[in-house]
Amino acid sequence: MRLDTESVVDLFIKTWSGDAKWLPYCLAGHSRYARDFRQLVLITDKGFDFEISETNIPIKIIETDPTEAGYTENPAFWGVTRQGKITEKSPRGPGYYWQQAVKMSWPEYSDADAVVILDTDVIAWDKFCAMDFTMNGQPYWRTEPYKTNDNDLIWKNCVESFLGESVCKNYMLKYPDNPYLFTREATIGFAAQIRERYDLSIIDFFRPTSDGLRLSEFSLFGAYLDRVNRHGYIIVDFDTFIGVPDIPLKQYWSWGGLDPLFEDIDQMIQS
């Protein structure tokens, strides 16, 4: 599927109470710099109350309840050290997995032709539009080879389970290296593949269990595009030096806290 200036594209963000300090800066940046998006769909959790200042982009707020969807278990989280050793880390709450399910269920919350999925700690620093997330209207997905000390190695198992074969590519590059533009056709196709492979809906598939795989929605979606059905996407390997658009977004790390970065973020938004 190719996109053009007539295509309906939304920004899509899943937020929660832990993002409370980041959300005003996130929305301020998109309000100032986002162009040609129909709206920003903001998915929140039940009980997260916040105020939104007047913005230049319409914001559609949808409240969800992970508990009602059965997202209650809090299994251990496994990580990879810089030496490539797998270690057990502090558990992440079920909301971490809920946000994956919500993102890959975006067609239930928006009737757009496509969405750009952003995290709350992704801040805009200059003007951008929907077509900036394509290569002349064609959606694309970037990959790079796994490295021995790559923290993303922890997601390799779920990709290999999904595909039924080994992989050497990492499909989850950070912003802005990967645009994370999801077309409706491809997202629905991905959900159908999950149903065929595991006999589970997206909501059931991402629900955490103590004996299940640790899942990465972006890794799985990228692998689906690369190995199962392209849906018109171009797969761009990181080392091929194919020119891709320069997207003026910067991803921070919300778990690291906002205070040390306040001046940097504030200057980007106000400049």
Residue with tokens 């299994």: 75
User: Does residue 1 form part of some domain?
Assistant: no
User: Does residue 66 form part of some domain?
Assistant: yes
Model pTM score? 0.87
User: Does residue 2 form part of some domain?
Assistant: no
Cβ–Cβ < 8 Å for 155, 169? no
C-alpha 168: how far from its chain's center? Answer: 21
C-alpha 210: how far from its chain's center? Answer: 23
User: Does residue 228 form part of some domain?
Assistant: yes
The whole-angstrom separation of Cα 117 and Cα 67 is: 23
Overall average pLDDT of the 248-260 stretch: 65
User: Does residue 239 form part of some domain?
Assistant: yes
pLDDT tens digits, 45-86? 998 888 888 889 999 999 999 999 999 876 665 555 555 565
The token pair that represents 46 in the structure block: 């039940």
Cβ–Cβ < 8 Å for 22, 122? no
Strands of 146-229 (E only): list them.
169-170, 181-183
- Give 126-130's long-range contacts (Cβ < 8 A, gap of 24+): 126/33, 126/248, 127/33, 127/35, 127/248, 128/33, 128/34, 128/35, 128/247, 128/248, 128/249, 129/34, 129/35, 129/36, 129/37, 130/3, 130/7, 130/9, 130/36, 130/37, 130/181
Give how many domains the chain has, as a whole number. 1
User: Does residue 91 form part of some domain?
Assistant: yes
pLDDT value of position 255 = 46
The kind and range of the H/E element at 217 are: helix 217-227
The token pair that represents 158 in the structure block: 């779920």
Q: Is the dihedral of CA 148, 151, 154, 160 positive or negative?
A: negative
What is the domain-level CATH number for residue 166?
Answer: 3.90.550
pLDDT value of position 96 = 83
Give the domain range for residue 252: 9-270
User: Does residue 4 form part of some domain?
Assistant: no
pLDDT tens digits, 201-236? 999 999 877 666 778 999 999 999 999 999 999 999
User: Does residue 3 form part of some domain?
Assistant: no
The token pair that represents 93 in the structure block: 């709450």
